[in-house]
């Protein structure tokens, strides 16, 4: 016997129930994005390697799924490989599956700059692929749900993103979340202030681990790596700051308020937090240790955590001033966030927060007992005219018990028995699978009741 077929490591099949639940998340996001004037775009699954490489760091480059050359190009690559000692995989590939939605979006904006009217607000809900080691909650094919406002430096874009986050999580019944905000300009000014400007990225990486390793370990690592007491002291103070935004801002003004970049960052944070106060958004938290991994952020950065779940951030993003420059278009600032649909799915699923009407099982199973399937098909079509989801059990010769069991197995709540009397009297029997109630009904009456 053949062994059971299987799928590539880190990928998943989605059952009808899972697809429906995932669509509930996507649909909730989509609706909210549209209310704020965002428009959908889609980009190809594959991009040219030249578009992707060098944008995600060395590690990211290694995680790209590359497409193998075909035909003559493949043969040529093999010949080259046979004549050389050091063979890179670039010989064998010119294209790769997209790694995220932000770089393809930047590419899209530059490529279509003459068709786009800025500011451009786009959303994009599509899969991305990363050849990461699969583990719980981490897949090689997964969806990202991104919104970006590009072509304006206005901080009102940031405020809208914050509003959207709050609205989305309220609609998903996850009101207990915290929107963490920081600003790369502040982070730069702070690290400048202790004379470590050239180590910005490295220090950012260390402090970004705070949640995982704790204060002690971060301070020890800073000490070991940079051996700069002012720097260690600075972050000790930061860790001991109260959670009060005003106090933190006063402290920042004292430390970096005179530096141009620092002052800009402080003004930005002030504008955003002040607006959020006025809009009754009270779950925004200034977190000076928030750094974000990606190097292209230049201003505001965001992360959202669910307070009742220990699973890292479910949204991340920030402002980038120079992303499109990499494709030749300068001076286009943008800001965006990405919702992590997979983590949100896990939370909603574990906590049974998916609405009960998410799945789209048929509402009626028709069992034909009239001896002529046409009667059942006519009955089904009547119900479908009223937008009911109807399935006809196709084999009327199967035992009744088997047909009823099928309804149970597929969570179909009502059975319609279409018998011989259907054709002349237009009556049928309706069985409620939950209560077991069974009644003979007149079609016309039943349909007019449905309409109400």
Binding residues for its own copies restricted to 34-53, rule: CB under 8 A: 34-37, 39-48, 50-51
Phi, psi for 386 (deg, rounded to 5): -95, 25
191 binds its own copies (CB under 8 A): no
Q: Out of 149, 234, 245, 443, which residue is the one contacting its own copies (CB under 8 A)?
A: 149
- Other C-beta atoms within 10 Å of 144: how many? 19
Four-point Cα dihedral 161, 166, 168, 172, nearest 10: 160
- Asked if 318 interacts with its own copies (CB under 8 A), we say no
**Count of residues touching its own copies (by CB under 8 A):** 99
Distance between CA atoms of residues 179 and 247, nearest Å? 18
Residue with smaller CB distance to its own copies, 247 or 385: 385
With CB under 8 A as the contact rule, the residue among 24, 56, 65, 345 that binds its own copies is 65
Element (H, E) at 232: helix 229-239
Q: Whose structure tokens read 């697809």?
A: 19
Report in angstroms how near the CB of residue 88 gets to its own copies at its nearest: 9
Q: 226 or 393: whose CB is closer to its own copies? A: 393
188: number of Cβ within 10 Å: 20
Q: Which residues pair with 97 in a beta bridge?
A: 46
Q: Does 321 bind its own copies (CB under 8 A)?
A: no
Among the listed ranges 73-81, 209-217, 295-303, 437-445, the one in contact with its own copies (CB under 8 A) is 73-81
In the complex, the smallest distance separating the C-beta of residue 197 from its own copies, rounded to whole angstroms, is 29
- Identity of the residue, 226 or 422, whose beta carbon is nearer to its own copies in the bound complex: 422
Beta bridge partners of 120: 150
Report strand pairing: 313-320 vs 284-286: unpaired
What part of residues 151-190 is at the interface with its own copies (CB under 8 A)?
Answer: 152, 154, 156-157, 159-160, 163
Q: What span, in angstroms and rounded, lies between the C-alpha atoms of 373 and 61? A: 59
Among 76, 112, 133, 202, binds its own copies (CB under 8 A): 112
Segment 357 to 386, residues that bind its own copies, using CB under 8 A: 360-362, 373-374, 377-378, 380-381, 384
Is 198 near its own copies (CB under 8 A)?
no
Q: Which of 127, 173, 220 lies closest to 355, judged by CA?
A: 173
Contact 98, 45 (CB under 8 A): yes
User: Interface residues for its own copies in 13-32 (CB under 8 A)?
Assistant: 13-16, 19-20, 23
Contact 403, 412 (CB under 8 A): no
Q: Which of residues 394-423 bind its own copies (CB under 8 A)?
A: 394-395, 406, 409-410
- Regarding 353 and contact with its own copies (CB under 8 A), the answer is no
């Amino acid at each position: 016997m053949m062994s059971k077929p299987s799928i590539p490591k880190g990928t998943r099949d989605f059952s009808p129930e899972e697809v429906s639940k995932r669509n509930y998340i996507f649909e909730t996001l989509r609706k909210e994005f549209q209310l704020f004037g965002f428009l959908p775009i889609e980009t190809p699954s594959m991009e040219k390697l030249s578009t992707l490489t060098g944008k995600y760091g060395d590690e990211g480059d290694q995680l790209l799924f590359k497409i193998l050359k075909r035909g003559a190009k493949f043969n040529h690559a093999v010949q080259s490989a046979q004549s050389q000692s050091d063979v890179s995989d670039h010989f064998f590939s010119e294209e790769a599956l997209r790694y995220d939605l932000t770089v393809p979006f930047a590419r899209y904006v530059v490529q279509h700059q003459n068709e786009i009217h800025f500011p451009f607000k786009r959303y994009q809900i599509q899969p991305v692929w990363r050849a990461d080691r699969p583990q719980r909650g981490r897949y090689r094919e997964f969806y990202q749900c991104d919104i970006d406002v590009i072509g304006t430096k206005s901080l009102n874009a940031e405020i809208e993103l914050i509003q959207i986050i709050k609205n989305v999580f309220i609609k998903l019944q996850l009101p207990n979340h915290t929107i963490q905000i920081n600003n790369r300009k502040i982070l730069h000014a702070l690290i400048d202030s202790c004379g470590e400007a050239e180590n910005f990225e490295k220090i950012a990486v260390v402090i970004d681990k705070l949640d995982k390793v704790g204060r002690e370990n971060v301070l020890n690592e800073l000490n070991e790596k940079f051996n700069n007491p002012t720097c260690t002291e600075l972050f000790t103070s930061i860790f001991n700051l109260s959670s009060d935004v005003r106090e933190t801002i006063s402290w920042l003004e004292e430390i970096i308020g005179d530096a141009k970049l620092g002052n800009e960052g402080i003004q930005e944070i002030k504008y955003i937090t002040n607006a959020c106060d006025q809009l009754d958004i009270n779950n925004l938290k200034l977190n000076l240790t928030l750094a974000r991994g990606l190097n292209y952020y230049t201003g505001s950065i965001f992360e959202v955590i669910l307070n009742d779940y220990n699973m890292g951030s479910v949204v991340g993003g920030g402002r980038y001033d120079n992303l499109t420059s990499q494709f030749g278009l300068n001076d286009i600032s943008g800001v965006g966030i990405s919702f992590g649909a997979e983590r949100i799915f896990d939370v909603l699923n574990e906590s049974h927060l998916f609405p009960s009407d998410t799945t789209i099982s048929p509402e009626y199973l028709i069992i034909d007992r009239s001896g002529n399937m046409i009667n059942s098909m006519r009955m089904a079509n009547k119900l479908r005219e009223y937008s009911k989801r109807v399935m006809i059990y196709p084999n009327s010769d199967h035992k009744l018990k088997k047909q009823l069991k099928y309804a149970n197995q597929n969570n179909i709540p009502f059975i319609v028995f279409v018998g011989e009397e259907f054709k002349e009297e237009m009556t049928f029997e309706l069985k409620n699978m939950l209560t077991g109630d069974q009644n003979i009904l007149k079609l016309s009456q039943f349909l007019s009741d449905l309409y109400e």
